[in-house]
Amino acid sequence: MFLDRDGTLNVERNYLADPDLLQLFPGVPESLRRLQDAGFLLYVVTNQSGIGRGYYSEADMHRVNARLEELLRPHGVRLEAIYFAPEAPDQPSRGRKPSPQFLFDVRDAHGVDLAASYMVGDKLADLECGWNAGVRASVLVRTGYGGETESKNPGLGARARVFDDLASAVGWILEDARG
């Protein structure tokens, strides 16, 4: 299971650099626990262009990620890894979404079957990342920029699954994965 961070798991803060401002969306810890209990390994794949733009440091991002893991821990949720692309959009990047490179890295390092995996996010680049990697489904959540992404891309629902939030997306994912 591949998950975007900002706007998908937590409230979008426009270049989140302060761990004290990290706020999970309602139901996120429980939803991630459901996925984990169903056997999914959880990987976060996030573009962090604020680093490349000079808005915050890589150390700031690591503190936010540590806070994310701290908030999930009491729910028994474990993130396998967090992959991040620090480059600004105009800088060359190996893993910046929509590149599928980080998903390929997970496949190669951990033996994850991409055809049985899902990519969940709130932006078109998240969906494209999943499609480019050959995942079972790319899933758009309407949290964060998801509502805007949906309205700017009519017909998106023909190729992606679209849900109000992670909790409703997880319900569908668990049903779809069963067969």
Q: Which residue shows structure tokens 């959540």?
A: 141
pLDDT in tens, 111-163: 999 999 999 999 999 999 999 999 999 999 999 999 999 999 999 989 999 99
Structure tokens at 91: 């800088």
Average pLDDT of the chain is 97
**Sheet strand arrangement including 42-47:** 79-85, 42-47, 2-3, 118-121, 137-141, 161-163
Confidence of residue 23 (pLDDT cuts 50, 70, 90): very high
pLDDT in tens, 135-147: 999 999 999 999 9
Measured CA to CA, the distance from residue 72 to residue 109 in angstroms comes to 24
Instruction: Using the predicted structure, report yes or no on whether residue 19 has a pLDDT greater than 90.
Output: yes
Distance of alpha carbon 46 from the chain centroid:
6
Instruction: Using the predicted structure, report yes or no on whether residue 80 has a pLDDT greater than 90.
Output: yes
Which residues have a catalytic role annotated? 4, 6
Q: In 3D, which of 29, 61, 34, 177 has the Cα closest to residue 113?
A: 177
pLDDT in tens, 48-71: 999 999 999 999 999 999 999 999
C-alpha angle 48/50/55, rounded to 5°? 155
Q: Which pLDDT belongs to residue 7?
A: 98
Q: In 3D, which of 26, 27, 118, 32 has the Cα closest to residue 69?
A: 32
- Proportion of the chain in helix, strand, coil states, percent, rounded to 5: 45, 15, 40
**Whole-model pTM?**
0.97
Measured CA to CA, the distance from residue 65 to residue 63 in angstroms comes to 5
Return the amino acid letter for 34: R
Q: Which pLDDT belongs to residue 14?
A: 92
Measured CA to CA, the distance from residue 80 to residue 51 in angstroms comes to 23
Q: Which pLDDT belongs to residue 179?
A: 81
User: What are the backbone angles phi and psi of residue 2, rounded to the nearest 5°?
Assistant: -110, 130
- The stretch 30-46 carries a mean pLDDT of 98
Domains along the chain with CATH numbers: 2-178 (3.40.50.1000)
